[in-house]
């Protein structure tokens, strides 16, 4: 993930403030993280710290008021495997596609 971060910075990709969605999908909470989303549903991202994040958190009053804390996760070899949307791809392919899309991704 650190290589992706370095490549994204070199390519001029602008990082964005990341948000996390509650498990039930009803709310989004702000986080202290900045980085680049890897999926259009904004469920996973690479932070400017070079870590991989799954942006899903439990609903909480604290999260709604103060924002959510999201720990780094171990990146999977295949992004989206076993997901409900049926879309999965090797992580390397997902990272490459995100880099190729540049700042127009969204």
> Could you tell me whether strands 44-47 and 89-90 are parallel, antiparallel, or unpaired per DSSP bridges?
unpaired
> Could you tell me whether strands 56-57 and 16-22 are parallel, antiparallel, or unpaired per DSSP bridges?
parallel
Task: Please state the domain count of the chain.
Answer: 1
Residue 82 belongs to what domain range? 2-104
Q: Is the pTM of this model over 0.85?
A: yes
Q: What percent of the chain has pLDDT over 70?
A: 93
**Predicted local confidence at residue 105, as pLDDT:** 79
Give the chain's end-to-end CA distance (angstroms, integer). Answer: 20
At 29, is the pLDDT very low, low, confident or very high (cuts 50, 70, 90)?
Answer: very high
pLDDT, one tens digit per residue, over 49-101 is 999 999 999 999 998 999 999 999 999 999 877 666 557 889 999 999 999 99
Distance CA 99, CA 4 (A): 8
Distance CA 45, CA 55 (A): 7
Contact at 8 Å (CB) between 53 and 18? yes
**Predicted local confidence at residue 88, as pLDDT:** 82
Residue 99 neighbours by CB under 8 Å, 6+ apart: 4, 7, 8, 11, 13
């Amino acid at each position: 993930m650190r290589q992706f971060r370095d490549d994204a910075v070199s390519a001029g990709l602008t990082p964005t403030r990341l948000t996390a969605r509650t498990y039930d999908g009803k709310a989004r909470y702000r986080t202290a993280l900045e980085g680049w989303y890897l999926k259009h549903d904004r469920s996973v991202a690479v932070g400017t710290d070079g870590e991989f994040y799954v942006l899903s958190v439990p609903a909480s009053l604290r999260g709604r008021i103060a924002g959510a804390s999201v720990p780094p996760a171990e990146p999977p070899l295949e992004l989206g495997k076993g997901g409900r949307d049926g879309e999965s791809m090797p992580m390397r392919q997902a990272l490459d596609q995100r880099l190729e899309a540049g700042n127009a991704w969204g």
